[in-house]
Amino acid sequence: MITCSIIQKSQLEKTHRLDATYYQPEYLKRISKLNTFPSIRLGNISYITDGEHGSPVFDDESGINYFSAQHVREGFIDVTDVKTISKIIDEKNKRSRLQEGDILLSTVGTIGFASLVTKEALPANIDRHVARISLREKTLSPEFLVAFLNSSYGKFQSIREATGNVQLNLFIEKIKDIAVPKHNNPGIAKLVKNGLQKLNDSKALYFFAENLLLEKLGLKGFEPGDVLSYVVNLSDVKSAHRADAAYFQPKYKKLINKFNLQKAKLSDLITLGEILSIRRGDFISTEYYVEKSKQAYIRIKELPSKGDINLDVVTYIDDNFSIQNTETLLEGDFVFAGIGATLGKTARIPREMKGSFYSNNTVRFRVKSNWKSRTNTYYLQVLLQSLACQAQFEQRQAQTAQAKIADQELRTVLIPILPKATQQEIADLVIQSHEACKKAKMLLEKAKREVERFVEENRIKEK
């Protein structure tokens, strides 16, 4: 539906903006409400800066997390696939070194997502696509401010003030001008605190599931490591149809030997091709992408290295889109990253994503009918993301322009099947983890809604 706004010339001169979207009716309505609400500039109560503008130097041993816009979610930091930077870069950028209670705001891509920095994320620093907001003492509670920035009254200001042609950016000076409440709301802050605690509970439960799996497979504490030189028989090269040295690293053989030692504790040790059917996904052009619909399109970038797909960041496809000879996902299927630097990432499809498409750079795994009664898909979720399978995916990848893995190689990956009771024990932990995560997101979403009610009620009182 076409909408229009009538703006006075004096208003244009004040904002120095001529783009129509800046003055869309919904924005003007919210500005009008905020003008009758007790607010203050964010820059008046906080120190705000962005992160590293140069090229970061990564260091796997430093322990200093390096967050970008992709890690900033609504309320929390997603530490999945976070890299660590060198102590030199961290020391060089003291201004953006994070502290507990800081708030991160995404300024590129999904603009306006705000997350709270907790002690679990530290030590850490940020790149230039994230703003660090450090509140002054005796101002707002960081939990309450996070809820406000993620609410419609906070987020619209971030999106509205973003500028750029090829890619939108939200600059620091504009962040300082965001209007925020003058006063705290302890009830909203408590909702955020409880939500973040539930997220920690979710992570802990999933960690317990991973540890239990490794313990039962005899892989707990197993660190095979690379060696610089080794001898391979010509017969092994011929049978593997591979001549690349990395494929024959002794660490992979050590892993399989571990499986063989545990055979007495397993109910089976079979190949992936025996238990799972495999199908490559389909390419769908960006012209069919929409903000929200019934059908998601799962790509590699949305796959986690652990846990579930984050429903907040998936791409959606127009409901009217159809493609011949395609297939959509079922609950309990798995989507596997079959190419690129993140090859091996695997995610179980939850009920909410049934009917989704998956991209041509991914592979769909589906439990074969004759194995459904013998395997728990929650168990397989942890197994496929564990060292037991990830090391084998790494071994079988072929490196051309970028890493990739062929279907015939995938089918040879060995899948250790633990007894049904043990599978259920692991699955129960995963299910509890999922439930805690859902509860956390419900609490964070409720906090956003309560912010909107808080603004409305206080605005009326100020009239």
Region 67-86: what's the mean pLDDT?
Answer: 91
Q: Is the peptide bond before 123 cis (omega within 30 degrees of 0)?
A: yes
Confidence of residue 462 (pLDDT cuts 50, 70, 90): very low
Region 47-51: what's the mean pLDDT?
Answer: 95
Q: Worst-scoring range by mean pLDDT, 85-94, 204-213, 308-317, 328-337?
A: 308-317
Q: For 272, left (φ over 0), alpha (ψ -120 to 50), or beta?
A: alpha
8-state DSSP, 112:
T
Region 278-305: what's the mean pLDDT?
Answer: 89
CA distances from residue 363 to 282, 285, 408, 412 in whole angstroms, order as listed = 10, 18, 12, 15
Q: What is the pLDDT of residue 19?
A: 63
Region 8-28: what's the mean pLDDT?
Answer: 60
CATH 3.40.50.620 fits 21-185, yes or no: no
Long-range contacts, stretch 97-100, CB < 8 angstroms, 24+ apart: 97/123, 97/124, 97/125, 98/67, 98/122, 98/123, 98/124, 98/125, 98/126, 98/132, 99/134
10 Å CB burial of residue 237 (0-12, 13-18, 19+) is middle
Q: Would you give the distance in Å from CA 309 to the centre of its chain?
A: 7
Q: Which of 175, 194, 201 is nearest to 450 (CA)?
A: 194
**Tens-place pLDDT, residues 324-377:** 778 899 999 999 999 988 889 999 999 989 999 999 999 999 999 999 999 999
Q: What is the pLDDT of residue 438?
A: 92
Q: Which of 384, 317, 327, 388 is nearest to 360 (CA)?
A: 327
Q: What is the pLDDT of residue 347?
A: 93
Q: What is the pLDDT of residue 450?
A: 96
> Would you say 239 and 445 are in contact if contact means Cβ atoms under 8 Å apart?
no
| Cross-strand partners of 268 | 417
Confidence of residue 13 (pLDDT cuts 50, 70, 90): very low
The residues of the chain that CATH labels 3.90.220.20 are 21-185, 204-426
Helix axis angle, 142-150 relative to 420-462, nearest 10°?
A: 90
What's the topology of domain 204-426? Answer: Adenine-n6-DNA-methyltransferase TaqI; Chain A, domain 2 (3.90.220)
Q: What is the pLDDT of residue 301?
A: 83
Region 296-300: what's the mean pLDDT?
Answer: 91
Does 413 or 166 have the greater pLDDT score? 413
- Rounded to 5°, angle at Cα 457 from 455 and 463: 95
User: Which three-class secondary structure state does DSSP give residue 70?
Assistant: helix
> Would you say 104 and 130 are in contact if contact means Cβ atoms under 8 Å apart?
yes
Q: Mean pLDDT score of the chain, rounded to an integer?
A: 88
- What pTM was estimated for this model as a whole? 0.85
What DSSP string describes 222-264? ------S-----HHHHHHHT---GGGG-HHHHHHHHHHHHTGG
**Tens-place pLDDT, residues 390-402:** 999 998 888 777 8
> Which pair of structure tokens corresponds to residue 187?
């009830």
Confidence of residue 11 (pLDDT cuts 50, 70, 90): low
Q: Which of 288, 312, 296 is nearest to 362 (CA)?
A: 296
Confidence of residue 117 (pLDDT cuts 50, 70, 90): very high
Q: What is the pLDDT of residue 460?
A: 56
**Tens-place pLDDT, residues 231-286:** 777 777 777 777 777 777 878 888 888 888 888 788 899 999 999 999 999 999 99
Dist CA 346 CA 387 (whole Å) = 12
**Statement: residue 226 has pLDDT above 90:** no
